[in-house]
Chains A and B, each alone.
Chain A
C-alpha cells in the first residue's frame, strides 16, 4: 500500500528576538492508510506543533504535507481533531456540538440522516443518555467523549489527537483509551496522536515515533508495535514484548532525546538518573551538524 500521509522536511520556525527560532526542523514521516501512529517526546519538544501543522492551524514554514495524494494548505473537516481540552461550545448540547461538524461535512444529506450520524457516534462513545446535556452538565471525561465523537462523526480521512487524555485522571484515561480502541477497531481511520504517556502510546499505536528535544526537533527513532488487534489492556500489558518496547521508549526519552538524530551518545555524558515516569526536559542545545538525508529518512512501511 502506498503512503497515505507524507510529511516531508516539515519545518516550523518563527521570528524570535535573537533571530528565527526553529521549533521543528526537517521532520519526515510517512503514514499508511489505516495506521495509528503516535508522536512521543518530552513536553515542549514540538510534537504538538507537528500536529497543529497537519491540522492546518499552524502555518508550515517550509516542507510539505500530503494527505491522500493532495497537498494540505489549511484546516478542513477532512481531518478530525481531538484537542487536549475538549473544546466544546458551552452553549450547545453534546448533540449540537457534534451536529455542528456533521452539518458542515454532510450538508447534502437530509437533516434526519445527519442527526442519525451524530446520535450514532454519541451512542458508541457511551453518551446515549447524555447527548442532550450541555458541557457544563458533563464530567471532564464525558466531555472528551463528545470531542472524540465529534471527530469520528466527520468520517475524516485522518484523525489528529493532541494529548487527548492529558487532562483526565488515570481511571478515566484508561476508560477513554478503551473507548478510542473500540471505536477505532470499527472504523480504522488513519490517526496521528501526540502524547507523553509511554503506556498510552504502546496500547494504542501501530508505530511510535520518538521525537528529539527542541529546538529544532526531529524524528529520533521509530518503534513498531505489533500487538494483535482488537486490543485489550490486560493482554497488551502482559504480552512478552511489552516490557522490552516500554524500556526502549523510556531509554530513548531518558538518554537519547536530547541528541540530534545523527549523533551517538557522547562518552563524557553519563545517562541522567531522572525517574522514568517523569522525564525532565533538559535544555541541552548542542551545536547542530549538517543533516544528511539518509539519516533522517524514515523506513517506509
Chain B
C-alpha cells in the first residue's frame, strides 16, 4: 500500500518540479508604456519566446477540449491529428513487421545469409528518417499523387524494421539446442520445426523487437509529415512553428510523447502475456 502511494506521489513531485522550472525560464508578456502614452507588449524573461505552462494551456485548450473537432483542414482537434498520424504509422509498421520478421528468421537460421546481409543492415540501421524520406518519394515518383504517401510508408517501414529484424535473428539463434533436439529426434519436417518449435520459441524475442519497432515508427512520424505535408500531428507541429504559435508546438510534443508512451505500454503488456505463457 505504501509503495503504491509512493508510485503515484513521486511522479507528481517530478512533474511539479519540471513545471516550476519551465515557469521560471519561460518568457512573460509585459506592457510597456511609451513616451507618447501608447503602450506596447514586449516579452521578458530568460527565454523570451518560450510560453509559460499556463499560457500554453490557455492558448491550446481548444485543441484539447474538443479533441476530435474539425474546424478547418489545418485547425483540428489534437486527437484527430493524432489519429491521422496513427493510421499511417500503423500501415508502415505493419509493412515493417511483414518484411522484418521473415528477414530476421533468415538471418538467424542461415549463417551464409547473415554473413551476406548483416554488414549491410548495420550500415542502413543508423540512417535517419530525414535521409530516407526524399529517397522514398523518389522511389515512388511513378505513382503520381500517391508518391508522398508511399514515400512516407517506405520511410516508416525501413526505419522501424531493424529492431524486429535483429531481435528475431537473436531469438532464432537463442532457441535452446534441447528444443531442436526434440525436433530432430521426432523427425519433424522443416515446416513443422519452423512453426511448431522455432516460431513459438522465438516469440518473446520477436515481441521485444515489435515493441521497439513501434516506438521507432512513431518517432519517425514527425519527420515524415514535415517533409510530405501530410495532415497529422507532425505536420500540425511544423505549421504552427511556421506560424509562430509556440504553444501548439509544446502541446504536440506532449501529445506525441504520451501516445508513444501508451503504445509502448500496450506492447509491453502484450509482450509480458506472451512471456508469461511459458
Task: Give chain A's interface residues, CB within 8 Å of chain B.
Answer: 55-57, 75-77, 79, 81, 83, 85, 87, 89-91, 100-101, 104, 134, 136, 154
Q: Which of A55, A77, A79, A89 contacts B197 (CB 8 A)?
A: A89
Complex: A132 Cα to B103 Cα, angstroms: 35
Residues in chain B near residue A87, CB distance under 8 A: 178-179, 181-182
CB under 8 Å from chain A, chain B span 151-186: 178-179, 181-182, 184-186
Complex: A136 Cα to B278 Cα, angstroms: 6
19 A-B residue pairs with Cβ-Cβ distance under 8 Å, sorted by A, are A57-B181, A57-B184, A76-B185, A77-B185, A77-B186, A77-B187, A79-B185, A87-B178, A87-B179, A87-B181, A89-B179, A89-B182, A89-B197, A91-B200, A100-B182, A104-B187, A104-B188, A134-B278, A136-B278
Q: In the assembled complex, how far is the CB of residue B224 from the closest CB belonging to chain A, in whole angstroms?
A: 37
Residues in chain B near residue A101, CB distance under 8 A: 186
- A89-B197, A89-B200, A136-B278 known; A76-B187 Cβ under 8 A: yes
What mask results when residues 184 to 201 of chain B are scored 1 for a CB within 8 Å of chain A, else 0?
A: 111110000000110011
Complex: A56 Cα to B184 Cα, angstroms: 8
The interface on chain B, measured as residues whose beta carbon lies within 8 A of the other chain's beta carbons, has a size of 16
Residues in chain B near residue A89, CB distance under 8 A: 179, 182, 197, 200-201
Residues in chain B near residue A75, CB distance under 8 A: 184-185, 187
Query: Cβ of B58 < 8 Å from any Cβ of A?
Result: no
List the 7 shortest-distance A-B pairs measured between CB atoms, nearest first. Answer: A90-B278, A87-B178, A75-B184, A91-B200, A104-B186, A81-B185, A101-B186
Query: Cβ of B277 < 8 Å from any Cβ of A?
Result: yes
Complex: A87 Cα to B188 Cα, angstroms: 15
Closest chain B residue, CB of each to CB of A86: B178
Complex: A269 Cα to B187 Cα, angstroms: 49
Residues in chain A near residue B187, CB distance under 8 A: 75-77, 104
Complex: A56 Cα to B188 Cα, angstroms: 14
Q: In the assembled complex, how far is the CB of residue A97 from the closest CB belonging to chain B, in whole angstroms?
A: 9
Task: Give chain B's interface residues, CB within 8 Å of chain A.
Answer: 178-179, 181-182, 184-188, 196-197, 200-201, 203, 277-278
Q: Which of A55, A90, A91, A134 contacts B185 (CB 8 A)?
A: A55
Q: In the assembled complex, how far is the CB of residue A194 from the closest CB belonging to chain B, in whole angstroms?
A: 15
Q: In the assembled complex, how far is the CB of residue B169 from the closest CB belonging to chain A, in whole angstroms?
A: 20
Complex: A55 Cα to B185 Cα, angstroms: 7
Closest chain B residue, CB of each to CB of A79: B185
Residues in chain B near residue A81, CB distance under 8 A: 181, 185
Q: Are A57 and B185 in contact (CB under 8 A)?
A: yes
Q: Are A85 and B178 in contact (CB under 8 A)?
A: yes
Residues in chain B near residue A85, CB distance under 8 A: 178
Residues in chain A near residue B203, CB distance under 8 A: 91
Q: In the assembled complex, how far is the CB of residue B201 from the closest CB belonging to chain A, in whole angstroms?
A: 8
Complex: A62 Cα to B42 Cα, angstroms: 92
Closest chain A residue, CB of each to CB of B182: A87
Q: In the assembled complex, how far is the CB of residue B195 from the closest CB belonging to chain A, in whole angstroms?
A: 12
Residues in chain B near residue A91, CB distance under 8 A: 200-201, 203, 277-278
